[in-house]
Structure 1
Amino acid sequence: MAGGAAALAAAAGGLAVLVTLTAVGWITAPHVGLGGGLAGVLRSAGVLWLVAHHVEVTVRGVGRIGLLPLGLVLLPGVLLERAGRWMTHGGHVTRLRHVGYAALAIALPYALFTGAVAVASRTPAASASLWQAVIAGFLLALLAGGLGAARALAPWRKLAALLPPRPRSVVLGMVTALAVLTACGALLAGASLAVHLHAYRQAVTSLSPGPAGSALLLIAGLSYLPNSVIWAIAYLLGPGFSFGLGTGVAPSASALGAVPAFPLLAALPAGTKAAFPPWLGFFVLAAPYLAGALAGLMTVRIAPTPTLEAAPLWGLLTGSLAGVVIGFGAKLSGGPLGAGRLASVGPSGAEVALVAVLEVGVTAAVVAGAANWLLLRHHIRKLAVPARQHARAGLAPAAVVPQTRDETDDAGGHRIYYDPWAGQRGD
C-alpha cells in the first residue's frame, strides 16, 4: 500500500505539471484545436505525460510519432526518485537488500496507472501505444524508485563500495567514457547552435508565438536538448544521423531536405562540405579516442591485474559496454515523424554502437594494457630497491620464516600451525 501511494503521488504530480502547461497553451492559442474543451485538454495532457515516458503516439492521417524529447523523461524520473526516498524515510525500507522490494512496490501500480492513462487519453485523432505505456512506466519506476530508495540509505561512495573491485573498475571506466563523450557532445551542440544563432532567431520570428508561446517553445527546445547531445555524439563518432529518408549529417558533409520549422533544428549543419576546417576536425573526431583512453586508464587504476594479457580484455569490455549504452541512447533519441519522408529521423543505434565499440573499446583495450604494464613495472622496481640496498651493504636478504604448512595431499585442505622457536625453550 505504501508503494501504491508513492506511485500515485508521483504520477499525480507529473500530470498536474503537464495539465498546467497544456492549459496555458490552450488558453493562449485556442486555435490549435485540442478538441472537447477541458476534456480535450486533459486528454492532451495525458498523451503528453505518456510522451514523457517515451511512449509513441499514432496520429490519424500522419502516422507514428516517435521522435520524443528525452529531457521530458526527467519530470517523472525525479518524482519517482523522490517516491523511492519517501519509502525509506517513512520507515518502510531500512536495509539495502530490501531496495528491490520497494522498487517493485512502486513499479507495479505505476505501470497499471500508465496503462489506464493510455486507455483514457485515446481519441479518434491520436492514441498512445498501450503496451509501450505499461512497459515504459514499469521500467522507469523500477529504476528511478530503486535508485531513490538506495540513495536515501547510502551515499554514492558506499553504493560503489558494494561492488567487488573488478566490476567496480568496469562500471566506473564506462561512466568515465560516457561522461567525456557527453561533455564533448554538449560542447559541439552548443557551438553549432551559437554559429547558427541567426537562423534560430529567424525560425522563432516566423512562428510568431507570443510571450506565452515563446515560453512553451523554450521549454520544448530544452526538453529536446538531450536528443541533440546524443546526435552530436553520433556525429563525433562518424556515422552521424539522418533527418528523413535519403538525408544524412556527418563530419564529411551534410545532405538535408526540408526541415520542420522548429527553432532548435536551425543548429543542423547544412552544405556539401565539412562543417569545420581540417585542423579543428582533428580535435573534434579525437574525442571518442580520448574517452576510450580515460576509460582504460580508470579501469586499470582501480583494479590492476598481474596477468598482462587480461588488462586489454577488461579495457575492451569497458569500452564495449560504453558503446552499447551509446547505441541504446542513439536508438531512443530518434524516431519517426509520420509515415512520409520523415519516417526515419535520428542516428542508427546499431551503427553508432558498432563504431563506438571499435573506437572507444579498442582504444580502452590498448591504453589499459599499456597502463597495466607500466604499473606493474613500477611496483617491481619499487620492490627491488630494498634488495639492492641490502646487497650494497653486504647484508643477506631477510629470511622469511614460514608460518603455515599447506598439506596439498589432504582432501580437506587442513593446515598445521607450528611454533618455529619451540626447540629453544628447553622443554
Structure 2
Amino acid sequence: MLTSMHLLRTRRFLPLFVTQLFNAFNDNLYKTTMVLFVVYAVYNDESTEAAFSGLASGLFILPFFILSALAGQLADMRDKAKIIRIIKLCEIGIMAIGAVGLTLAWKGVAVHAFAIPLLLAALFAMGVHSTFFGPIKYAILPQHLEKDEVLAGTGWVEAGTYIAILAGTILAGPLAVQHTGWATVGILVTACIGYLVSRQVPPAPPLGGPEKLDWHILRASVKLVRDTMHNAEVYYAILAISFFWTIGAVLFIQFPPLAKNTIMASPEVASLFLVVFSIGVAIGSVAVNALLKGRVSARYSPISVIVMGLFVVAFYMVAKLWEADQPASLLSVSEFIAWPMAAVLLLCLLGISVSGGMFVVPLYAFLTTRVSPDKASRTIAANNIVNSGAMVGGSLAAMALSAAGVPITEQLLLCAAMCLFSAWLARRLIVAENAAADLAAAAGA
C-alpha cells in the first residue's frame, strides 16, 4: 500500500494517472448524458431504448476492433508521451462536435434527422480516440515503473478509471435531461484540462528498433492477435478479460432501460446504478493488489468471477421481486432509496462490481509483464481487438434478445452464465502461470 501511495507522488506516474482520470471522466460524462437524454427525453419504448443503448455501446467499441493493431504499432514504435498529447488535442475537437449535437437535441432542433446522428458520430470518434490511448495507459507502466510497482500502477489506473466513471456518472444523471447545457460546457472544459495535464507525462521513447507501420488494418489485426496468442499466460488472460468485458457491456446496456422500465426510476437513479458499479470496481481493483502484495497472479480470479455470477443471480431475483410490486411513477433518488428492497438491490450491484474488479485487474498486469517491453503496447492492442470483438458480440446479442421480445430482466441470466465460462478461463490461466513458474525454476536450477 505504501508503494501504491508513493506512486501518486511521482512525476513518472501522476501525470499519466490524472490524464487517464480526465479521459475516462469525459468519455463517461458524454456517453452517459447522451444515452440517458435519448432514453428519457426522446424515446418511450423499452425495446427501442435498449436498441439505442446497444447501438451507442457498439459504436464506441467498434474502433477498438478495427484500429487497435495500428494503435499498438504506433505506441510501440513512437514516443508514447507524444502520442498521448496528440490524442488529447484531438479530443477537444471531438467534444466540440458532441457539444453541438447535445445542444441541438436539448433545444429540440432536428433531433432525429441531425442531432442524434451527430451525437453518435462524436461517440464513434471518442471510441477512436480511446482506441489509440488504450494501449499506452498500461504499456507505458513497465517503462516508467519498477517491476514490483507494475501491479500497483495497474491497480491505480484501473481504480482511477472507475473513480472517473463514478464522477462522470454522478454528473450525467442530473445533467442528462434538465441541465444538458452544462454538460456541453463540461465536456469541452474537461477535454482542454486533459490536454494540459498530458503535457506533463515524461517522455517514453520506443524501446525496440524502428519498424515499418502496417496500414493494412485487417492483415495487421490478424497478425497481431496470432503473434500475441502463442504465450499461454497472455492467451488465457486475454480471453478471460474479453469475457469479463462482454459481461460488462451487456450490463451497461441493460442498466438505463432496466432502471426506467423495471425499477421505475428517474435518470438520477439510472446514474446511481452506474455510480455503485464504478465504486465497486475501484474497491476491487485496490483490494486485489493488497491481497497479492504486488505479485502478478491470477490465483483469486476464478473465485472472484464465480462470486460475481452469484451476485448477478441475486440481482436478477431482486429485480423480479421489484417487478411484481412496481411504483406507479418514476422514483427520485430519495424515493428509490426508501423503497423496499432498494438497499438489497444496490448491495447486489456492489457485490457484482467489487468481485469483477478483483477478477480483472491482475489479468491486465499479465499483458505487460509476460512480454518484452518493446511489445507491451501491441499486446494490449491485441487484447483490445479480442475484447472489442467479444463486447460487440455481447452488444449484438443483447440487442437481438430485446428485438425478440426477451425482457431486460431475463437477460441478466445471460451475464451469470458467462461468469462460469470466465471462471474456467481464469483457472486455465492459473495452470499456465504455474507451468511458466516451474519452467523458470528449472531453467534457474
Q: Same fold (TM over 0.5)?
A: no
Higher relative contact order structure (alpha carbons within 8 Å, sequence separation ≥ 6): 2
User: Which one has the bigger helix percentage?
Assistant: 2
Rg (Cα) greater in structure: 1
TM-score (norm 2): 0.27
TM-score (norm 1): 0.28
